[in-house]
Structure 1
Amino acid sequence: MRRCLPFFGLPLFALMLSGLLLQSATAAPDVAAIKDKLELCAGCHGKEGISETPNTPSLAGQPDQFLQWQLIYFRSGARANELMGPISADLSNEDVRNLAGYFAALPPPPAATSDDNPALSEAGAKIAAQNRCTSCHTDTYAGTKAVARVARQREDYLLKALMDYKAGTRTGGGVAAMADVTYPLKEDELKALAHYLANYK
């Protein structure tokens, strides 16, 4: 958020093992080729990429390159997860491109009809401004390239991710920048930030 370093801390072997040149999709994803994989994804991330599963992110509307990188991290073991590790292990480079392109093209989660704690959102907005979150995540927190969309992401997942960065247990891209932001923040400040982003209009 303070420093936009999406690839800092990336183990080089992740890219070497992938053999994948990341690029924005230039053609529509081959949905038929990943039909079975999409059904598996929907079990946790939702049929339209909008998660209803606790501590599990929505993928709809995430930047294409960001999604490709996360799949590469999981596939190479650079980012450890007991569910995503086995699922991603057998993904081909074409699978990675198709899955990322599919979810990137879906409409992002809609804005909440109401904010149950506007005061907490106001506090979160101040924290976001103080830490220049928009410098990486864009002015609308929609993300770009290898930087995640955080606007209207699940609040519980946002808090978990922020806490993991603070604790140093999150691996993959952006670790240095996010650790720099989260380490000084108290848990109640992280909760306010997560609430603000989850309810962002």
Structure 2
Amino acid sequence: MLVLSADVASAADESVREKAAQCTPCHGEAGASQTENTPSLAGQPDSFLQWQLVFFRAGSRKSEVMQPIAEQISNEDIRNLGTYFASLTPPKASTPDDNPDLSKKGAEAAAGRRCASCHGDTFAGSKAVARLAGQREDYLTKALHDYKSNVRVGGGVAAMAEVAYPLSEEEITALAHYLAHL
């Protein structure tokens, strides 16, 4: 019976890896994106990933690419994909910080906007709150602009809109740079 359970678990793991492989062209090998304006999924909190797929599927989060994909994903697949990507090692900054002064300004902006109160002291996120540390800089910039302009909705949208709306272009650039290099 134990062998049968192991075989079933192995088949389930393989099924999840096959479904996750469909995400690779955009979100990268092992969930580490190399695609402009596309987030890395590796190490994102499980609940956060699940909610984003639900938001895409419901159409409350807009994406011409993600919405049709999410519409085809079952609730079980959403749970399994969330668990799978959350289990992967999150990406580290792809390049050394070439602008420590900009990172310092970003750290000041993060402290001033109380980003750590939701995203955690290390910006690793938790539960339904995104991991920001090591995320692609271009994607972080895009996400902040989307929240600022109310293009992006989903969990925490009121808090994010309130935080992002007063940000200057310089603060958005600094925040994205700082977080990407953590």
How high is the TM-score relative to the length of structure 2?
A: 0.91
1:68 aligned residue (50, 61, 66)? 50
What amino acid is the match of 1:116? Answer: D
Tell me, yes or no, if structure 1 residue 40 matches structure 2 residue 22: yes
Query: What is the CA distance between 1:61 and its match in structure 2?
Result: 0.2
Structure 1: gaps spanning 5 or more residues: 1-26
Residues of 2 paired with 1:75 and 1:112: CA distance?
31
Secondary structure of 1:48's match? helix
Contact 2:93–2:135 (Cα < 8 Å) also in 1: no
Equivalent residue number for residue 169 of structure 1: 151
Query: What is the CA distance between 1:28 and its match in structure 2?
Result: 9.6
Structure of higher RCO (CA pairs closer than 8 Å, 6+ residues apart) = 1
Which stretch shows the higher mean deviation, 183-192 or 56-65? 183-192
Are the structure 2 counterparts of residues 114 and 178 from structure 1 closer, same or farther at C-alpha, using a change threshold of 3 Å?
Answer: same
What amino acid is the match of 1:106? Answer: L
How high is the TM-score relative to the length of structure 1?
A: 0.83
Can you list the C-alpha shifts for 1:3-37, whole angstroms capped at 9, x where unaligned?
A: xxxxxxxxxxxxxxxxxxxxxxxx99933223442
Equivalent residue number for residue 127 of structure 2: 145
* Identity within the alignment, %: 61
Are the structure 2 counterparts of residues 28 and 50 from structure 1 closer, same or farther at C-alpha, using a change threshold of 3 Å?
Answer: farther
Can you list the C-alpha shifts for 1:77-124, whole angstroms capped at 9, x where unaligned?
A: 111110001111111111001111100000000245521111100000
Query: What is the CA distance between 1:125 and its match in structure 2?
Result: 0.3
Structure 2: gaps spanning 5 or more residues: 1-8
Are the structure 2 counterparts of residues 53 and 113 from structure 1 closer, same or farther at C-alpha, using a change threshold of 3 Å?
Answer: closer
Q: How many residues align?
A: 174
Are the structure 2 counterparts of residues 28 and 159 from structure 1 closer, same or farther at C-alpha, using a change threshold of 3 Å?
Answer: farther
